[in-house]
Each structure stands twice: as C-alpha cells, then as structure tokens.
Amino acid sequence: MVFGTIKYWFRKDTLGQILRDDAVTTAHAAAIARGESRILASGKDGNLFSYKLEEYGAERNSRMPITSVVGHIAWTGMWAIITAGLLGTSVVLLVSSGARMPVGSEWIGVLVMTVLVLLFGLFFVDGLRDLLKEIKAAKLRRLRGIPRPID
C-alpha cells in the first residue's frame, strides 16, 4: 500500500513531537511489561499511539489491505464481484461454445456451483467478521478520543 509506506512526509518532527513520541513509546513499553496486549502505530493524524488490540480493529497490511469500515465493504465486494464474474464468464463460454455435457454428469455443474457459492460465502463471512471488529474498534477509539490507525 502506498499510504502505508509513506510515513507522513509532510510531518515536521519538532522537539515537542519527538518528546511526545518518546513518551508514547515509553508508556507502550510499560503497558507491554504489565502484560497488556498493545500495538504501537501511527494514527490518521500522524501522531504515534499505543492502541489496545480491541481499539486497533481489523489487521492492516495483512490478507486484506483495509484501513476503514468502508474498506471492508469494498474488499469483500470486490471478491464477490470477481467470484460472480468467473461464474458468469464460465457459463457464457460454455453456452456459446455449444458444449454438451455427457449424460449422467450433471453433478459436475452442481459441484462447481456449490464450490463457487461456498467461496462467495467464505469471503462474505470473513469480511463481515472483520467489519464487525472494525465497527467495535471505531466505537472504542471514539470513546478514548484517538484517531484511526494507518499502520
């Protein structure tokens, strides 16, 4: 992701910013030493924050390059469209080529449809799970007054 690799090139590190980042890093290390599960990441505003796992939300820079609730919907929708497109293309190609299935092999079509529906359901459930996790994290971040993480 482009935004994940560019570390706020417009941000000017002043002495106050450097001291704030050091204080957050120290507090983060102390929280880790107490046994808390935390993630040190940059917020949307460019400042460093120590997020609890519940506040961090869905994983970033993983299988789903997601940074927001809308990103979950877009990512899941993209895979649903790709799956439906593959199904539609295969049906159109089979019909237009005049292919005839051998008698007694109708189970192949049912198997292909079942696999495609299961794939679609897998992407939907995975996206829905991460979407709910991100919505809960957004509520917790709003209560604490911290921005959405971008790392």
The full 3-state SS of 80-128, as one line of letters, equals HHHHHHHHHHHHHHHHHHCCCCCCCCHHHHHHHHHHHHHHHHHHHHHHH
User: Which H or E element spans position 48?
Assistant: strand 48-52
Instruction: List b or e across 121-148, with b for residues whose CB sees 16 or more CB atoms inside 10 angstroms.
Output: eebeebbeebbebbeebeeebeeeebeb
- Split at pLDDT 50, 70, 90, the class of 2 is very low
In a domain, 25, yes or no: yes
Is 125 a member of any domain?
yes
In a domain, 150, yes or no: no
Counting residues of the chain whose pLDDT is more than 70, the rounded percentage is 74
Range of weakest confidence among 6-20, 23-37, 83-97, 118-132: 6-20
In a domain, 151, yes or no: no
What percentage of residues in the chain have a pLDDT greater than 90? 15
Rounded Cα distance between 62 and 56, Å, is: 14
Identify the sign of the CA torsion 49, 53, 58, 63. Answer: positive
For range 46-65, the mean pLDDT: 76
Q: Is 123 left (phi over 0), alpha (psi -120 to 50) or beta?
A: alpha
Asked whether residue 12 is domain-assigned, the answer is yes
Cα-based angle 31, 36, 37 (whole degrees, multiple of 5): 115
Q: Does residue 149 belong to any structural domain of this protein? A: no
**Does any domain span residue 108?**
yes
What is the number of structural domains in the chain? Answer: 1
Q: Where in the sequence is the domain holding 85, given as residue range(s)?
A: 2-144
* 43 within a domain of the structure (yes/no): yes
Look up the pTM and report it.
0.61
